[in-house]
Amino acid sequence: MTSYTDKGPRPEFGRYQGYDHITFWVGNAKQAASYYITRFGFTSLGYKGLETGHRDVASHAVSQNGITFVFQSPLNPGNTLFSDHQNLHGDAAKDVAFAVDDCRAIWKKAVARGAKSIRSPWEEKDENGVVVMATVATYGDVEHTFIERTNYTGAFLPGYIATPPDPITSLLPETDLRFIDHIVGNQPDKEMVAACELYVHLFPPLFYHFHTTLTPSFLPPSYEKALDFHRFWSVDDSQIHTEYSALRSIVMTDYDEVVKMPINEPAVGKKKSQIQEFVDYHGGAGVQHIALRTEDIIKSVSALRARGVEFLS
């Protein structure tokens, strides 16, 4: 393992404030939200659907301290955008949204550097103010939405209405999950560096952390000119391996190191690695796991087990 401390100068504009929320595309949004409420200790944050005038997608938002998940399902038959995604990936993370201080500036620079724009900046408003958002593509079918809520005081986002709490929550132990620590994206073999380059060239305040075995001749052309990134953490298959499998990993983080996005790929071993297994079953690159921070892991795991959460062993 190698850690790095040289971050270079702070970017001129655009600061990441952390993870805003994660959107999952699932077969049954209400049922998925209920699972995270009863099993993981989340509470209902808001709902958007037919009753709120949104006739295409049902969205159920749940939260716990600094963690927010949104589960979405289509309302109409023939929605191939959702059905094709579901057919290939099953229930999966679709959008990792970042809270930012200047959505338009970050999106504009990312697109100017070659990012694929999914949706240019738009505003959503209600009685609590205005939110500015914009979306770009990242690895696989995953997207990043930049969310600027400087002028918004609502509980979540415009268009969502409050929903009553699930009465079962008062009978179950608190899990005390605090915030998202990091989000890992798994890539097919030999595609890790290509996925990471997006965070170097396209997201100006995010920083690319090269694998320690890469020499300057293998780095992207703008490596020496890209003053707004630094190496944070990296490992290779000589450091993370078992008798049967191995992996390589590069970590990206913003200047303030509040967003951490490790990118993994499999390495050759006697058996198929967990990274390759994920890619096979997921149908390509995608979000493999979401790490949630707790201040007392024994307490949290005990509460989660009591709620019926199954852990790998």
Q: What is the DSSP string of 196-248?
A: HHHHHHT-TTEE----TT--GGGS-TTTTT-TT----EEE-TTTSB-SS-EEE
Nearest-angstrom CA–CA distance, 32 and 26: 7
Give CA 298 to chain center in angstroms. Answer: 25
Q: Looking at per-residue confidence, does 128 or 258 come out higher?
A: 128
Residue with token string 């199954």: 310
Q: Looking at per-residue confidence, does 308 or 239 come out higher?
A: 308
Mean pLDDT, range 195-218, rounded to an integer: 53
DSSP state for residue 10 in the 8-state scheme: P
Judge whether residue 210 has pLDDT over 50. Answer: no
Share of the chain above pLDDT 70, in %: 81
Is there a contact between 250 and 231 (Cβ–Cβ < 8 Å)? no
Give per-residue pLDDT as tens, 123-180. 999 999 999 999 999 999 999 999 999 999 999 999 999 999 999 999 999 999 999 9
For residue 313, what pLDDT is reported? 80
Judge whether residue 203 has pLDDT over 70. Answer: no
User: Could you tell me where the beta strands, DSSP code E, fall in the chain?
Assistant: 2-3, 16-25, 43-48, 57-64, 67-74, 92-100, 117-126, 129-137, 143-148, 179-186, 206-207, 233-235, 246-254, 260-267, 286-293
Structure tokens belonging to residue 134? 């914009």
For residue 272, what pLDDT band results from cuts at 50, 70 and 90? confident
Judge whether residue 267 has pLDDT over 80. Answer: no
Q: How many CA atoms lie within 13 A of 147 on its CB side?
A: 21
Share of the chain above pLDDT 90, in %: 62
Average pLDDT, the chain: 85
For residue 274, what pLDDT band results from cuts at 50, 70 and 90? confident
For residue 6, what pLDDT band results from cuts at 50, 70 and 90? low
For residue 90, what pLDDT is reported? 97
Judge whether residue 247 has pLDDT over 90. Answer: no
Cβ burial, residue 238 (10 Å; 0-12/13-18/19+):
exposed
For residue 209, what pLDDT band results from cuts at 50, 70 and 90? very low
For residue 115, what pLDDT band results from cuts at 50, 70 and 90? confident
For residue 214, what pLDDT band results from cuts at 50, 70 and 90? very low
Mean pLDDT, range 267-290, rounded to an integer: 87
For residue 244, what pLDDT is reported? 40
